[in-house]
Amino acid sequence: MSEIPSVIIGCRECERENKEMRFAHGVIPFPTTTAYKKNELFKLEQDYTCPFCQDILEITPKIIKMCRTLIDGYSHIVAHPKATEITSPDTNCFIPHDRLYPSLEAFFKEHGSFVKGIDGKLFKNPKEDLKLIHDAMNDFDTEKWLLVIECAGNPEAYLSDSTLWFNLFEDDL
């Protein structure tokens, strides 16, 4: 398992190719992501180069700020191509990159649900944290790059079909 808290970065194209190869040939997948533990976040201040296609993700100050702040938060943060997934032990939601909401309550209300008090359960500083996410997610190509913040406050690892197998390798790297 990757260690929590940590920030995980990867290139979606190489990950996709890797998965296809695995399914087609049954070969052991290679890791296409890199995990940074909390005390390694300074390494993110250099740009990230995909070790396979050599494409470069420019790690901007907004991205660093989001990672440094939310790694100590209550929720895992996952960059999907068009939305951010926010996961706490009992809540999971997706907010689109193209809108800045004043609160999650406002977001849910717009979608017909009234979820009182949800902001304080998912974020330490809801308004500021939502802005950090919005600013950072619009500062890089989320269609191209995967970014996951596994935070200190949610002890359950973020699991997706992609993270499951790369977690197997992180301890050896």
52 binds Zn ion (CB under 5 A): yes
* Cis bond upstream, residue 5 (ω within 30): yes
Query: Taking CB under 5 A as the rule, does residue 29 contact Zn ion?
Result: no
Q: C-beta of 90: minimal distance to Zn ion in Å?
A: 34
Token pair recorded at residue 59: 């790690």
131 phi and psi, to 5 degrees? -70, -40
3-state SS, residue 161: helix
Report the DSSP beta bridge partners of residue 35: 8
Per CB under 5 A, 147 contacts Zn ion:
no
Least Å from the CB of residue 165 to Zn ion? 17
Residue 29 or residue 120: which is nearer to Zn ion going by CB? 29
For Zn ion, give the closer residue by CB, 11 or 137.
11
Interface stretch with Zn ion, choices 53-61, 79-87, 110-118, 132-140 (CB under 5 A)? 53-61
Q: Please state, in angstroms and rounded to a whole number, the distance separating the CA atoms of residues 42 and 45.
A: 6
- Whether residue 71 contacts residue 52, with contact meaning beta carbons closer than 8 Å, is answered with no
The region, left, alpha or beta by phi > 0 then psi within -120 to 50, assigned to residue 26 is left
Stretch binding Zn ion (CB under 5 A), from 1-9, 47-55, 76-84, 161-169: 47-55
The mark string for 2-21 relative to Zn ion (x by CB under 5 A, - otherwise) is ---------x--x-------
**Site residues (CB under 5 A) for Zn ion?**
11, 14, 50, 52-53
